[in-house]
Chains A and B, each alone.
Chain A
């Protein structure tokens, strides 16, 4: 049944080799992000999935051509940049305008137009990154800790008031908040390049 002629998806081959760690890691990190961007951009679920897949595949092809010494840090930065660019481009550009016979990911290299729309998209993207990070981090913490964080860090309530409301010590409110913020920062910086320094 397994003759060499038969197609075998990369993803299955991945099971046997570990040289595509970057791709799988990338996929699990970014798929929800791109899909959320697409859906929030008005695409229906199935179309958002299609677009997400297209962006992922395009980037995976680009990854395979990424021939600079793939030192971890450098690769990471490149990946974050390319992911944001590809997502924004895919959502703002015409999907059919990919040139005939041209490399299918040529548009990756294009810088997004420098216009208000692109600026808005970058902000939008950043927001999705935060949302996604928050969703991920939220489940890692006890719900009371999350409440502390949410009331102080997001709703701007004084720690003293939060402590009173939740019947905890002020110190434990600070601990919960700082733990969650640090974890959020980790997840956010894993996904996106810093927009501000």
Chain B
């Protein structure tokens, strides 16, 4: 095709034809013909480029874009950057503060905020600013979340805000961040919370997704426990998302944060402006619609969080807020089993049920989810002594599968001493545990079926599936719940 002189054009192409070439509306034959003319005609090469854009645009393009813009953009975007006092790229936060703060006699502090010595700015966002400060009276570090005047004053009464914040503060639970106090200073509403050092689940997902089943279960259980405690107090979170789940360093505990407050302000905003504030990616259909909201809305969000842990992305993604909302309300989620082939069916079904569009079809409440997930985690750790619960009301075939699966596991344990030895070698040498492993009757097989009959009554396929699960369980035992060594801000 190079330098195909035979199809060369004697004359320069008409300007309209060049336009058509750029537009891609020429026939293949014409395109080839013009291109072969372009092979050697410098004049038409220039014409073509002029036609595409003015020379200033070509220049600008060359000076602005670099190869790196296309190759490593993802890495750049996922950088976790911390706002600090000396960070020259965020002059606004420092400027803001310097106007706001009282002088402090602590030389290391930026100034005083209502009696707290402010050490530095942890974060700045559309909602407000978060400060790390020292509480002198109790000699501890706290995080102070100051709400923008813009949010706090608009269409929501301070009294109601304070009431809600106090209700959130009343939830005392291991998996819910404590709120030390709610107050206002110089007309600004603020919350005082413990200063947590560790990444958010969002950051954890950015770095480690897809997470393994054990980690997902452990995190989901804690989130569900926190939700359950809050729901018991009549409080719906309304903004459960990975960015609102903190993972304090040096512990396996996770903490729910921003309870009720963020979305409450946003809701008030919606009333005033009819506009949704914040990403709707983790919102339930009833939340983006106009349905009444209760704790089951948070369960839907929990389902979204699990999907984000499993795949790195929330289940409903699109270019615009509107498109996301449409997906949330109208489009069934993609089943986890389509994306992750390693996840057991029961897990996929739990997520399916959390992501039911109709609240009535989800779990009844967070407590039920906790119980379900705990049983599953127990099963994961000790499959022989902990049968799986039934996930859905409608999933009859699941029950069958579980019964069969348990029977096969029983058969395997009874008939495959090799497998047993391998399993035992990965567990602590504990006699009690060992005897339990060997003597506990296998649930779901009421009559101790003889190995041969059980074996012959199941197909290869199922056996392979069970073996795979046992292999996987072993690897799970060997891998401790990884704490992430990311130094990041608390919120």
Question: A residues engaging B (CB < 8 A)?
Answer: 1-2, 6-15, 24, 27-28, 31, 36, 39-55, 57, 60-61, 91-98, 100-101, 104, 117, 126-127, 130-131, 134-135, 138, 150, 153-156, 159, 163, 168-172, 174-175, 177-179, 181-182, 184-185, 188, 196-197
Q: Mark B66-88, 1 if CB is under 8 A from A, else 0.
A: 11011001001100111100010
Q: Is B364 an interface residue (CB 8 A)?
A: no
- Are the C-beta atoms of B273 and A95 separated by less than 8 Å? no
- Are the C-beta atoms of A171 and B36 separated by less than 8 Å? yes
- Are the C-beta atoms of B149 and A100 separated by less than 8 Å? yes
Q: Is B360 an interface residue (CB 8 A)?
A: no
A169-B1, A182-B52 given; A156·B62 CB < 8 A: yes
B120-128, B212-220, B347-355, B365-373: which lies at the interface: B120-128
Give A53 to B319 CA distance when docked, in angstroms. Answer: 14
Query: What's the minimum C-beta distance from B161 to chain A, rounded to whole angstroms?
Result: 16
- Are the C-beta atoms of A43 and B124 separated by less than 8 Å? yes
- Are the C-beta atoms of A7 and B270 separated by less than 8 Å? yes
Q: Is B53 an interface residue (CB 8 A)?
A: yes
Residue numbers in A under 8 Å from B326 (CB-CB): 15
What count of chain B residues pass the 8 Å CB interface test? 94
Residue of A at shortest CB range from B34? A171
- Are the C-beta atoms of B146 and A96 separated by less than 8 Å? yes
Q: Is B228 an interface residue (CB 8 A)?
A: no
- Are the C-beta atoms of B2 and A169 separated by less than 8 Å? yes
Give A48 to B46 CA distance when docked, in angstroms. Answer: 42
- Are the C-beta atoms of A174 and B202 separated by less than 8 Å? no
Residue numbers in A under 8 Å from B271 (CB-CB): 7
Query: What's the minimum C-beta distance from A148 to chain B, rounded to whole angstroms?
Result: 12
Q: Is B209 an interface residue (CB 8 A)?
A: no
- Are the C-beta atoms of A1 and B290 separated by less than 8 Å? yes
- Are the C-beta atoms of A50 and B292 separated by less than 8 Å? no
- Are the C-beta atoms of B38 and A94 separated by less than 8 Å? no
Dominant secondary structure of chain A at its interface with chain B: helix
Give A169 to B146 CA distance when docked, in angstroms. Answer: 62
- Are the C-beta atoms of A28 and B319 separated by less than 8 Å? yes
A43-B124, A169-B1 given; A117·B91 CB < 8 A: yes
- Are the C-beta atoms of A154 and B61 separated by less than 8 Å? yes
Give A153 to B69 CA distance when docked, in angstroms. Answer: 14
Residue among B77, B90, B269, B275 with the most chain A CB within 10 A? B275
Extra pairs beyond A28-B320, A46-B200, A175-B38 (5, CB < 8 Å): A49-B125, A96-B100, A97-B96, A135-B70, A196-B56
From A15, A44, A91, A134, give the contact of B123 (CB < 8 A).
A44
- Are the C-beta atoms of B65 and A134 separated by less than 8 Å? yes
Residue numbers in B under 8 Å from A15 (CB-CB): 322, 326
Residue numbers in B under 8 Å from A45 (CB-CB): 202-203, 206, 243
CB contacts under 8 Å to A, within B20-48, are: 21-22, 24, 31, 34-40, 45, 48
Give A177 to B93 CA distance when docked, in angstroms. Answer: 43
- Are the C-beta atoms of B22 and A182 separated by less than 8 Å? yes
- Are the C-beta atoms of B61 and A50 separated by less than 8 Å? no
Q: Is B89 an interface residue (CB 8 A)?
A: yes
Query: What's the minimum C-beta distance from B178 to chain A, rounded to whole angstroms?
Result: 20
- Are the C-beta atoms of B90 and A42 separated by less than 8 Å? yes
- Are the C-beta atoms of B65 and A131 separated by less than 8 Å? yes
Query: What's the minimum C-beta distance from A158 to chain B, rounded to whole angstroms?
Result: 11
7 contacts between A and B (CB under 8 A): A43-B83, A44-B81, A45-B203, A178-B49, A182-B53, A184-B61, A196-B56
- Are the C-beta atoms of A170 and B38 separated by less than 8 Å? yes
From B67, B89, B187, B277, give the contact of A100 (CB < 8 A).
B187
Residue of B at shortest CB range from A182? B52
Residue of A at shortest CB range from B489? A44
Query: What's the minimum C-beta distance from A32 to chain B, rounded to whole angstroms?
Result: 8
A2-B290, A175-B31 given; A47·B64 CB < 8 A: no
Q: Is B95 an interface residue (CB 8 A)?
A: yes
- Are the C-beta atoms of A179 and B24 separated by less than 8 Å? yes
Give A167 to B375 CA distance when docked, in angstroms. Answer: 61
Residue of B at shortest CB range from A47? B125
- Are the C-beta atoms of B276 and A11 separated by less than 8 Å? yes
- Are the C-beta atoms of A98 and B150 separated by less than 8 Å? yes
CB contacts under 8 Å to A, within B94-130, are: 95-96, 99-100, 123-129
CB contacts under 8 Å to A, within B280-294, are: 280, 288-292
- Are the C-beta atoms of A178 and B48 separated by less than 8 Å? yes
Give A197 to B59 CA distance when docked, in angstroms. Answer: 12
A7-B267, A27-B321, A171-B37 given; A178·B52 CB < 8 A: yes
A27-B321, A174-B49 given; A94·B96 CB < 8 A: yes
- Are the C-beta atoms of A181 and B53 separated by less than 8 Å? yes
Residue numbers in A under 8 Å from B278 (CB-CB): 49-50, 53
- Are the C-beta atoms of A98 and B35 separated by less than 8 Å? no
From A11, A27, A39, A98, give the contact of B77 (CB < 8 A).
A39
Residue numbers in B under 8 Å from A48 (CB-CB): 125
Q: Is B253 an interface residue (CB 8 A)?
A: no
- Are the C-beta atoms of A24 and B37 separated by less than 8 Å? no
Q: Is B401 an interface residue (CB 8 A)?
A: no
Residue among B39, B66, B125 with the most chain A CB within 10 A? B125
- Are the C-beta atoms of B148 and A95 separated by less than 8 Å? yes
Residue of A at shortest CB range from B151? A54
Give A31 to B277 CA distance when docked, in angstroms. Answer: 13
Residue numbers in B under 8 Å from A95 (CB-CB): 92, 96, 124, 126, 128-129, 148, 150
A47-B125, A126-B64, A154-B61 given; A9·B288 CB < 8 A: yes
From A98, A100, A170, give the contact of B39 (CB < 8 A).
A170
Residue numbers in A under 8 Å from B123 (CB-CB): 43-44, 47
Query: What's the minimum C-beta distance from B379 to chain A, rounded to whole angstroms?
Result: 34
Residue of A at shortest CB range from B80? A44
Residue numbers in B under 8 Å from A9 (CB-CB): 270, 274-276, 288, 325
Residue numbers in B under 8 Å from A47 (CB-CB): 123-126
